Amino acid sequence: MRRIFPAASLLFLILTAAAFAEDEAPARAAEVAPLPAASQAEQSAGLRVIDWLIIAVYGCGTIGLGWYYGRSQKSTQEYFVGSGSMNPILVGVSLFATLLSTISYLSMPGEALGKGPVFMMSLLMLPVVFAIVGYFVLPLYMKQKVTSVYELLEEKLGLSVRMLGAGMFIVLRLVWMALLIFLTAKALTIMLGVGEEKIPIIAIVTGFVAVIYTSLGGLKAVVITDFIQTVLLFGGALLVLGVISYDLGGFGWFPTKWNPTWDTQPFFSSDPSTRVTVVGTLVSVLIWYVCTSAGDQTSVQRFMATKDASAARRALGTQLCVSVVVSLTLGCVGFALLGYFSAHPEQLPATILLKDNADKVFPHFIAFHLPPGVSGLVVAAMFAAAMSSIDSGVNSITAVVMSDVMDRHGHAPKSEAEHIRMARWLAFGIGAFVVGISSFMGLIPGNITEVTGKTSNLLTTPIFCLFFFALFVPYASPRGVWVGAFFGTLTAALVAFSGPLLLVAILGRLFLDLEQDLSLEAMRAGVRLLSMFKESGGDVSINCPDPISFQWIAPLAVLVNIATGCVASKLMPRQQPS
């Protein structure tokens, strides 16, 4: 598979050229039929030749890195965890890039611009995350060098729990990668000025590069390219801030009072439907970071690539420090965009609203308001954010499938060379599958921040709870842990999709219980909902407010999971060998 580099680079250049040619077609047509001044300006904007050249060079360069690092690999241990003594600074930056992704690169500016700045309060919890993970979790994990973290579950709770953890992780990362490919492709449709029906084609191009260099180079290629991608990503955000600050003559875009378009975001609210609160932000982010660091193969695999617990702790500290800097920068990008389009409202298309379509503002600005060349760098940064997550997800899933499924059940290849070859083809197949299912992510309601919490983070807490039982509950039994995982996952799903489920329940009651004596106000509300449902063509993802905010998915899922798992373990204790 190493020989695929020249063909892969050539194919990427062809795909990029095809996309460019398609994008330039409307501009050539405009030369024949003159357009009004505003339309001409919008047609002349967008990505230029220099932008496409930058993107093409970047894509070919990452494929080349994968080919370079893949030449010297002799074992699957090196393929999945590098040398086992990698630089903790590089590992920490790679871990940050993995967990940031295009989802965060787009959602943070969109959240700050359209909803408000309270999400940035989550950074206050990172020192607590460092203390918990660095001094309580990592020392336990680093005592044993394992390829898959789910090997630890079998030692404590048996094979069935190990398979449960590995299976949930695979589903989690498949959905997560599909979501970020979809969101990246959707953002690029705005930049290219094409319809959303082109999302599958753009998704193939985006996923192609990441899958190729990941399947070739393994974890070492992933870590090195993640470092490059983080620099590119951060540089792209700084370029946007620089361009807007120059246009507005300074930093007057920074808000000094609450913007009228922002949501109400109180410190705490007794109403669980309040979308964002300070307390909800702090609690949900703390739980997410701890659960991801302690139960997600993507994170643990990075820690295992370092020498010992001390080096792993430095990697964690690097990850959190970079998270603070980049998150603050992306939040400021949202503020800057709000200031720019408040000063120039005529430059924002009528189809994009600062409050309701805030996630589309950043991609629009990149394509239509940055100088040629700069747009290419920022788009390359978006590719970087997507690829840094795809490569890590593909590599981690491959490690789990090889270690927890094939090797554990006696289906390992006979030689180490065959092992590496199979790992590479498996990584390629996983990536291709993710690209194929990415288009279905558009069915989930909400902005990027909400959709992420409702899908890709749905299984994060149940996976962590498996390790909680294994490490901290002496009387935990396999059957009790299964019960806890079931109810924890069910709770997360019910909270995540509480809005559509409520709508379906109301509609069902209207259809099935018409003979009941409903109040006039309830009947009017039902008629309004029925009308909305009809206008949407039967789509239950229409704007129906969630009775429980997405911020409470993780806290409630953890509480239910641990409580039911402990009770079930007492009622169904571990069977002692005779």
DSSP 244: H
Query: Could you read off the pLDDT of 482-512 as tens digits, one per residue?
Result: 999 999 999 998 888 877 777 667 666 666 5
Query: Could you read off the pLDDT of 44-81 as tens digits, one per residue?
Result: 455 678 877 877 777 677 666 656 655 554 544 444 44
Long-range Cβ contacts of 13-21 (<8 Å, 24+ apart): 13/56, 13/60, 15/204, 15/205, 15/208, 16/52, 16/55, 16/56, 16/59, 16/205, 17/52, 17/56, 19/52, 19/192, 19/201, 19/202, 19/205, 20/47, 20/49, 20/52
Mean pLDDT over 401-424 rounds to: 67
Contacts of 527 (CB under 8 A, 6+ apart): none
> What sections of 138-277 are H helices per DSSP?
138-141, 151-157, 159-192, 199-248
From residue 523, alpha-carbon distances to 127, 287, 508, 509 in Å are 51, 41, 13, 11
pLDDT of residue 2: 43
Instruction: For residues 197 and 236, give the distance between their C-alpha atoms in angstroms, rounded to a whole number.
Output: 27
Report the Cα 34 to chain-centroid distance in Å.
42
pLDDT of residue 32: 35
Let me know how long the chain is: 578
Instruction: Kindly indicate the confidence band of residue 265, based on its pLDDT and cuts at 50, 70 and 90.
Output: confident
Query: Could you read off the pLDDT of 214-245 as tens digits, one per residue?
Result: 555 445 556 666 677 677 778 878 888 998 99
Output Rg (C-alpha) for the chain, integer angstroms.
24
Report the b/e string of 452-489 with b at 16+ CB within 10 A.
Answer: bbbbbbbbbbbbbbbbbbbbebeebbbbbbbbbbbbbb
Q: Would you say 164 and 484 are in contact if contact means Cβ atoms under 8 Å apart?
A: no
Residue 284 phi/psi, 5-degree rounding, is: -65, -40
pLDDT at 199 over 60: yes
Mean pLDDT over 329-355 rounds to: 85
Q: Would you say 441 and 179 are in contact if contact means Cβ atoms under 8 Å apart?
A: yes
Report the Cα 183 to chain-centroid distance in Å.
9
From residue 227, alpha-carbon distances to 94, 384, 553 in Å are 6, 10, 32
Of the candidates 228, 96, 161, 103, which has an alpha carbon nearest to the alpha carbon of residue 480?
161
Contacts of 97 (CB under 8 A, 6+ apart): 226, 227, 229, 230, 233, 384, 385, 388, 389, 392
Mean pLDDT over 402-428 rounds to: 67
pLDDT of residue 47: 67
From residue 24, alpha-carbon distances to 43, 44, 112, 190, 367 in Å are 9, 10, 33, 14, 14
Query: Could you read off the pLDDT of 306-321 as tens digits, one per residue?
Result: 888 888 899 999 999 9
Q: DSSP labels for 413-476?
A: -SSHHHHHHHHHHHHHHHHHHHHHHGGGGGGS-S-HHHHHHHTTTTTHHHHHHHHHHHHH-TT-
Instruction: Kindly indicate the confidence band of residue 27, based on its pLDDT and cuts at 50, 70 and 90.
Output: very low
Query: Could you read off the pLDDT of 105-140 as tens digits, one per residue?
Result: 778 888 888 888 888 888 999 999 999 999 988 888
Q: Would you say 135 and 322 are in contact if contact means Cβ atoms under 8 Å apart?
A: no
pLDDT of residue 9: 44
Fold of 4-23+46-440: Sodium/glucose cotransporter (1.20.1730)
13 CB burial (10 A radius; 0-12, 13-18, 19+): middle
Portions of the chain given CATH number 1.20.1730.10: 4-23+46-440
Q: Among 154-158, 439-443, 524-528, which stretch is predicted with the lowest mean pLDDT?
A: 524-528
pLDDT of residue 132: 93
pLDDT at 15 over 60: no
Q: Would you say 75 and 416 are in contact if contact means Cβ atoms under 8 Å apart?
A: yes
pLDDT at 450 over 80: no
Quick count: other Cβ atoms within 10 Å of Cβ 328? 13
Tokens 């600062």 identify what position? 354
pLDDT of residue 135: 92
pTM across the whole model: 0.72
pLDDT of residue 509: 64
Element (H or E) spanning 127, and its range?
helix 126-132
